[in-house]
């Protein structure tokens, strides 16, 4: 696509420019960090550029985030059309607080440190997931005993002492049902946990969103399965089909779930859980049907895999993978806590419930350049988290920001560009 010199000049981005979504997720914004020497922007974005040196773009980005997602101060700012959007004129008319530049920098630095800690957890989550996938690939091919491998007609290569088998050889596969939704007696004040496929998501199920009554259980195909039963989603929207979970309680299930119960103690249920987790894509590939492809009990029974004859090896493999699951859960919980802290602190800082103007905060990362969220380093993460927590705890007298200006007085607005 050809662009004239004038178009290139007027649509070009500079480091520090703030880009704001016009439609869709209205108000979602990001800062251009100048990764490319020459880059423009499409016509569904607004470009905001500081008119003078007293504006910190990162502060404005965070304020827009709070304004659109938490404070509700921009409700009604968008145009009410078939596709909601915010025009250049409406965006330029929005009120934005402008505290003194040093305070803007301190606010941006606090929030930036918290996002940096969140990004670190994101990387640790991704790395742990990759490690688990690699571990499963190795363990289910080579085992733990260093044995030579043998080729098998089903289940692929496996250690010599392992035996090729199928789900149907070592377990029963059942299902459940759904009581009639038209009969309140089957649902109101229900006490029996009832599992749906959306709850089957690589976890231990200790509670359910819905519960049914004993009458609903008796008058439907639903049945109760004991704690420890392995569940598989046989169909469902998106990525649901093929996922597995373990019952942590006695519970009933609907007809879209398969209940897998081992015949005897020769198969460790946790080992089987990880076998099926590892073969998620292969199991999904067995599905058939029309527009919505489904699994069924016969397809699950016929699924082949390699089974260690030594129950202790099954246990050790499952235990190794459970350790990685605990590490993954730890980082996910930590990320959730950090994100909750970020959202709380964002609200407090942007409503002046917490003031940082007189606090000693390192602003070097945000004062003279735009930090790159994607280029984090692990070093000092604990310090960043501690700094953020300390900032959130230092409550000062509630105050309302008293430095407000119209957005169009501090930033240049959008220049219409072509789609790229």
Using DSSP's 3-state secondary structure scheme, residue 375 falls into: coil
Cα 279 versus chain centre, distance: 22
Q: Which of 380, 283, 350, 376 is nearest to 60 (CA)?
A: 350
Q: Are strands 171-174 and 257-262 parallel, antiparallel or unpaired?
A: antiparallel
pLDDT at residue number 420: 38
Is residue 9 predicted with pLDDT exceeding 50? yes
Rounded-to-integer distance, Cα 367 and Cα 379, Å: 20
pLDDT at residue number 402: 44
In contact, 105 and 367? CB cutoff 8 Å: yes
In contact, 228 and 251? CB cutoff 8 Å: no
Rounded-to-integer distance, Cα 84 and Cα 79, Å: 6
Residue with tokens 């919980």: 333
Rounded-to-integer distance, Cα 316 and Cα 417, Å: 60
φ, ψ for residue 340 (rounded to 5)?
-60, -40
pLDDT at residue number 249: 98
Average pLDDT, the chain: 84
In the chain, the N- to C-terminal Cα span, in Å, equals: 8
Task: Please enumerate in sequence order all residues whose Cβ is within 8 A of that of 56, keeping only pairs 6 or more positions apart, or say none.
Answer: 101, 104, 105, 108, 366
Confidence of residue 80 (pLDDT cuts 50, 70, 90): low
Mark 38-77 as b/e (b = at least 16 C-beta within 10 Å).
eebbeeebbbbbbeeeebbbbbbbbbbbbbbeeeebbeeb
Confidence of residue 383 (pLDDT cuts 50, 70, 90): very low
pLDDT at residue number 208: 98
The CATH homologous superfamily to which domain 165-304 belongs is DNA methylase specificity domains (3.90.220.20)
Using DSSP's 3-state secondary structure scheme, residue 362 falls into: coil
- In the chain, where the domains are located: 1-98+403-420, 165-304
Alpha helices in 95-191 (DSSP H): 101-142, 167-170
Confidence of residue 202 (pLDDT cuts 50, 70, 90): very high
pLDDT tens-place string over residues 128-167:
999 999 999 999 999 999 999 999 887 679 999 999 999 9
Is residue 197 predicted with pLDDT exceeding 90? yes
Using DSSP's 3-state secondary structure scheme, residue 360 falls into: coil
Confidence of residue 387 (pLDDT cuts 50, 70, 90): very low
pLDDT at residue number 397: 35
Confidence of residue 370 (pLDDT cuts 50, 70, 90): low
Phi-psi region of 233 (alpha: psi -120 to 50; beta: other; left: phi over 0): beta
| Mean pLDDT computed over 369-375 | 49
Report pTM. 0.78
Sign of CA dihedral 189, 193, 194, 197: positive
pLDDT at residue number 393: 39
pLDDT tens-place string over residues 272-289:
999 999 999 999 988 876
Rg of the chain over Cα atoms, rounded to whole angstroms, equals 28
Rounded-to-integer distance, Cα 410 and Cα 51, Å: 5
**Secondary element (H or E) of residue 205:** strand 204-205
* Class in CATH terms, 1-98+403-420: alpha beta
């Amino acid at each position: 696509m050809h662009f004239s010199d004038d178009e290139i000049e007027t649509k070009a981005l500079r480091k520090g420019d703030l880009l704001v979504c016009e439609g869709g997720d209205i108000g979602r914004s990001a800062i251009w960090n100048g990764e490319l020497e020459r880059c423009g922007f499409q016509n569904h974005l607004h470009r905001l550029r500081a008119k003078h040196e007293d504006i910190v773009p990162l502060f404005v980005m965070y304020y827009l985030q709070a304004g659109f997602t938490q404070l509700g101060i921009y409700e009604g700012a968008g145009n009410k059309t078939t596709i909601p959007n915010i025009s250049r004129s409406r965006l330029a008319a929005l009120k934005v607080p402008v505290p003194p530049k040093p305070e803007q920098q301190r606010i941006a630095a606090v929030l930036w440190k918290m996002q940096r800690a969140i990004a670190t957890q994101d990387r640790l989550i991704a790395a742990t997931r990759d490690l688990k996938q690699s571990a499963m690939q190795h363990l289910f091919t080579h085992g733990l005993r260093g044995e030579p491998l043998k080729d098998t007609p089903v289940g692929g290569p496996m250690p010599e002492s392992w035996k090729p088998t199928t789900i149907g050889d070592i377990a029963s596969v059942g299902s459940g049902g759904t009581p009639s939704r038209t009969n309140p007696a089957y649902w109101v004040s229900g006490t029996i946990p009832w599992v749906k496929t959306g709850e089957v998501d690589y976890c231990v199920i200790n509670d359910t969103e819905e519960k049914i009554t004993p009458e609903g259980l008796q008058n439907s195909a639903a049945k109760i399965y004991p704690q420890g039963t392995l569940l598989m989603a046989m169909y469902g929207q998106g990525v649901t089909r093929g996922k597995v979970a373990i019952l942590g309680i006695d519970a009933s299930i609907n007809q879209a779930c398969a209940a897998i119960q081992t015949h005897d103690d020769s198969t460790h249920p946790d080992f089987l859980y990880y076998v099926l987790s590892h073969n998620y894509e292969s199991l999904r590939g067995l599905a058939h049907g029309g527009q919505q492809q489904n699994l069924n009990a016969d397809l699950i029974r016929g699924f082949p895999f390699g089974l260690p004859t030594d129950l202790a090896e099954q246990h050790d493999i499952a235990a190794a993978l459970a350790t990685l699951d605990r590490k993954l859960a730890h980082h996910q919980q930590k990320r959730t806590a950090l994100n909750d802290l970020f959202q709380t602190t964002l609200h407090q800082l942007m409503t002046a419930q917490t003031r940082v103007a007189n606090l000693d905060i390192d602003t070097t990362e945000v004062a003279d350049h735009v930090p790159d969220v994607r280029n984090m380093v692990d070093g000092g993460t604990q310090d960043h988290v501690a700094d953020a927590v300390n900032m959130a705890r230092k409550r000062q007298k509630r105050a309302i920001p008293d430095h407000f200006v119209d957005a169009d007085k501090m930033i240049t607005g959008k220049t219409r560009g072509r789609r790229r």
